[in-house]
């Protein structure tokens, strides 16, 4: 049986596909490529007028940001939605029962 060679570029992804996969806005990915976050820029390459991100560059970018935060590995794995949900619960706790009362009446 002949093995199919790995397609060139199989380790790269487009800005939109990366954003969908990771749960971010494509605008955020573009901002990270152009301006960076906390001194770290997301590397990308342009092929035929389109931008792509190599999987290794994405992993390096995430590792650099997480190293800056000095957080536990299980915290780094939380998705954006989970972090937002936890923040909402913390906010509810800080605001007390008046926030819960307003939510129930809305």
Domain span including residue 40: 10-70
Residue 54 forms beta bridges with which residues? 12
- 1 domain residue, yes or no: no
2 within some domain? no
Domain presence at residue 5: no
Per-residue pLDDT of the chain in tens (106 residues, 90 and over written 9): 444 444 455 699 999 999 999 999 999 999 999 999 988 999 999 999 999 999 999 999 998 888 866 655 566 556 666 777 778 888 888 888 655 555 555 5
Domain of residue 53, CATH code = 1.10.10
Residues 44 and 15 in one domain: yes
60 and 19 in one domain? Answer: yes
Give the per-residue pLDDT at 47: 92
- Flag whether the pTM goes above 0.85: no
85 three-state secondary structure: helix
Query: With helix as H, strand as E and coil as C, how does 26-40 read?
Result: HHHHHHHHHCCECCE
């Amino acid at each position: 049986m002949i093995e199919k060679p790995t397609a060139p570029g199989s380790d790269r992804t487009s800005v939109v596909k990366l954003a969908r996969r990771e749960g971010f806005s494509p605008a955020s990915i573009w901002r990270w490529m152009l301006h960076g976050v906390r001194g770290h820029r997301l590397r990308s390459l342009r092929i035929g007028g389109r931008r792509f991100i190599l999987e290794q560059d994405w992993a390096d970018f995430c590792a650099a940001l997480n190293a800056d935060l000095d957080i536990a590995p299980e915290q780094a794995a939380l998705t954006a939605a989970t972090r937002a949900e936890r923040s909402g619960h913390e906010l509810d706790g800080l605001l007390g029962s008046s926030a819960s009362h307003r939510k129930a009446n809305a």
